[in-house]
Amino acid sequence: MRRTVHITGVALVSLLAWQAVVTLADLPRFILPGPDLVFVTFWTSRALIAEHALVTAAEVLLGLGLGAALGFASAILLVASPLTRSVLRPMLVFSQAVPVFALAPILTLWLGYGLWSKVAMALLIIYFPVTSAFFDALMRTPPGWLELARVMKASPGRTLWRIRVPAAMPGFASGLRLAAVYAPIGAIIGEWVGASQGLGYLMLLANGRAKIDLMFAALIVLAVLTLLLHAAVDVVCRRLWDG
């Protein structure tokens, strides 16, 4: 309850400050529309915004699910196989050396302007944080637990799945929380490069037609979607692994 009141208070103060800047500086609407105008635009264009928001939400959720599954499997392979670790870890580092903006046109060329190029962008942008967080947690298994497994003559496979993985799930949860914030970024980048649907496409379209109020409305919806996704992932992680 206290957290909700705090968030509501911050939002109200931000809106008041936004309106004060627009009023005192007498800014034209094509530079910075006031929150009242953005709200009116949101309401009158709610069907259009909802249509594009559903597309972006589908891209983000698919990318998050696939990226989390791939990151989980990759971290397991890194721990279980020294050979895989020597091959895959340099590839992980290299994947972060290439800017995602440079990969977006290539993925659009390969996968087209539809859903899957955006899903791939979301997957790529969250793959490293999920894999890295889970791998680090797997490698930090308490030594006493591993020593007890050796004394009990547990096989490497049983040690991994019965001791290492359960102990590392809070680390995996941390990676998922980061992924919930990063996944929308990947989807929006993909939509900016080439799309015919989605909030990123709608923002570009509104900007090109000087409908800055519509662009701000779509941006705020995107921010709310991201916050809701992060909150949902946080709740699930707390109930499953942190509590």
Q: Are 204 and 192 in contact (CB under 8 A)?
A: yes
Q: What global pTM score does this model have?
A: 0.91
SS3 assignment for 48-86? HHHHHHHHHHHHHHHHHHHHHHHHHHHHHHHHHCHHHHH
- 20 and 84: one domain? no
Handedness of CA 80, 82, 88, 94 (dihedral sign): positive
- 18 and 116: one domain? no
SS3 assignment for 165-194? HHHHHHHHHHHHHHHHHHHHHHHHHHHHHC
- 25 and 131: one domain? no
Mean pLDDT to the nearest integer, 221-228: 94
Q: How many domains does the chain have?
A: 2
Structure-token pair, residue 68: 């989390």
Q: What CATH number is attached to the domain comprising 137?
A: 1.10.3720.10
Q: Are 209 and 66 in contact (CB under 8 A)?
A: no
Name the residue type at position 232. Answer: A
Q: Which of 204, 169, 187 is nearest to 55 (CA)?
A: 187
- 181 and 196: one domain? yes
- 59 and 175: one domain? yes
- 228 and 178: one domain? yes
- 158 and 54: one domain? yes
The runs of H, that is alpha helices, within the chain are 2-25, 35-44, 46-80, 82-97, 100-111, 115-139, 143-151, 156-159, 165-193, 199-208, 212-237
Instruction: Give the model confidence (pLDDT) of 73-127 as tens digits.
Output: 999 999 988 888 888 888 887 777 777 778 888 888 888 888 999 999 999 999 9
Mean pLDDT to the nearest integer, 10-20: 86
CA diameter of the chain: 75
- 220 and 101: one domain? yes
- 144 and 45: one domain? yes
- 21 and 39: one domain? no
Task: Compute the distance between CA of residue 75 and CA of residue 229 in angstroms, rounded to an integer.
Answer: 24
Q: Are 214 and 41 in contact (CB under 8 A)?
A: yes
pLDDT exceeds cutoff 80 at 48: yes
Instruction: Give the model confidence (pLDDT) of 121-145 as tens digits.
Output: 999 999 999 999 999 999 999 988 8
In terms of residue numbers, what domain contains 206? 33-242
Structure-token pair, residue 74: 């990759």
- 94 and 5: one domain? no
115-139 helix and 46-80 helix, angle to the nearest 10 degrees: 40
Name the residue type at position 122. Answer: A
- Phi/psi region, residue 5 (left: phi>0; alpha: psi -120 to 50; beta: rest), is alpha
- 6 and 78: one domain? no
What is the residue whose two structure tokens read 């910075």? 32
Instruction: Give the model confidence (pLDDT) of 29-41 as tens digits.
Output: 888 898 989 999 9
pLDDT exceeds cutoff 90 at 177: yes
